[in-house]
A and B are shown apart, each in its own frame.
Chain A
Amino acid sequence: MEIYGLGIVAFCMYVGSFIGYFIGEALGISGNVGGVGFAMLILILLSNYVEEKKGGWSEKTQNGIYLLSALYIPIVIAMAGIQNVVAAFTGGAIAFVAGAVATIGSMFLVPLIGKLGSKEFEK
């Protein structure tokens, strides 16, 4: 059933965020350190494991997960709609210059560091 797909992602989010908050507490910086990353990792490992053992989840279960991924872009658009854009543009020259230089500079470091990786990919 579709709800199983939603449940699987919910499970991953709870386990991943538990690890994230635990690391945050251990490091003394209250907060979720990489919880979403851990959750994604768990989902990848889990789905690859089920794929290998039983040929993957049923189509309906997968549809539940795809429903969430399909909502991703609308959610990002809603997220853009709740940003404090006024603060970004009126925070003074220093905020704008610092943010802009760091963003553009970081982007041009992408191809440099990207060279460390291999060029072959599974499609």
Chain B
Amino acid sequence: MILEIISTLFTKFPLVGAFGAVALIMLVSYWFANLIGQKRMGSAIAIVVALLLAFIAGKVTGGSKGIADITYFSGFALLGGAMFRDFAIISTAFGAKLENLKKAGLPGAVALLVGVAFSFIVGSVIAYVMGYHDPVDVATIGAGTVTFIVGPVTGTALGASSEVIALSIAAGVVKSVLTMIITPFIAKAIKLDNPTTAMVYGGLIGTTSGVAGGLAATDPKLVPYGAMTATFYTGLGSLLCPSVGYMFIKLFL
């Protein structure tokens, strides 16, 4: 009976349960960060813990939504979903300085174009080297390397097979997950410590979730600047990859 009541609590208040669970993950992660003397790593550790839980949950349930596929933790889908994420990202712009944005305008725009082109070319070349020679397949995998949304958008537009589309999504997810993990470690080496480089970083990497997670773990003050450019990246990619990108690849294949 007691167990039934507890089970009812988790299924009746999913969002509240998610708040509680995230608080617990953060409590443990920040405690661990303090223990190893790296106070600033707290949020990075919490993100890695959450990814690890998502991996375990994915293995156990066979689903695609990580922890949210476990009935008791379905609230994660709402708390970590696009709606709340974007609502909170927008609020971080409060306090950002207009002058800093103006200064980073040009490098930010350049970073967007270079970022989409670079990821698309890298993904396409690797697809070709690893055995995909059909221009539609190559362009779809290249587009997936841009972000896991651009991949299926391009693949659907060009009529790629569902196997290739799945592969393109996987490439984008790898990018997103790796960005969250690597960024705090590499931040110093790439001078990611001011609004301009944060905007350039957002424009080059582009995956909104990866950039958001990576910057939050590095320095929360930089989040609005990186998120600002990253949010244009998927749109630009969806525009360029199925059109100019595909034509470019057809020139070679």
Interfacial residues, chain A to chain B (CB-CB below 8 A)? 9-10, 12-13, 16-17, 20, 23-24, 27, 29, 31-37, 39-41, 43-45, 47-48, 62, 65-66, 68-69, 71-111, 113-118, 120-122
Contacts and interface: CB of A to CB of B under 8 A. Distances in A.
B191 A111 contact: yes
B174 A110 contact: no
A78 B98 contact: no
Contact of A82 (B67, B145, B170): B67
- Please classify the interface of chain B as helix (H, G, I), strand (E, B), loop, or mixed, using the class held by over half of its residues: helix
A82 B57 CA distance: 9
Contacts of A36: 86, 89-90, 208, 227, 231
A12 B87 CA distance: 9
Interface string B9-24: 0000000001100110
A81 B91 contact: no
B72 interface: no
A78 B23 CA distance: 10
Contacts of A101: 122, 126
A87 B64 contact: yes
A47 B176 CA distance: 31
Contacts of A111: 190-191, 197
A91 B166 contact: yes
A33 B107 contact: no
How many residues of B sit at the interface, in one of the four size bands? Answer: 35 or more
A85 B47 CA distance: 12
A116 B239 contact: no
B87 A29 contact: no
Contacts of B81: 79, 82
B93 A44 contact: yes
Contacts of A108: 190
Interface in B91-105: 91-101, 103-104
B98 A80 contact: no
A80 B228 contact: no
A37 B231 contact: yes
A91 B126 contact: no
Given A99-B173, A102-B118, A117-B106, A77 B46 contact: yes
Contact of B200 (A12, A74, A88, A110): A110
Contacts of B235: 20, 23-24, 29, 31-34
A106 B205 contact: yes
Given A86-B59, A107-B201, A9 B87 contact: yes
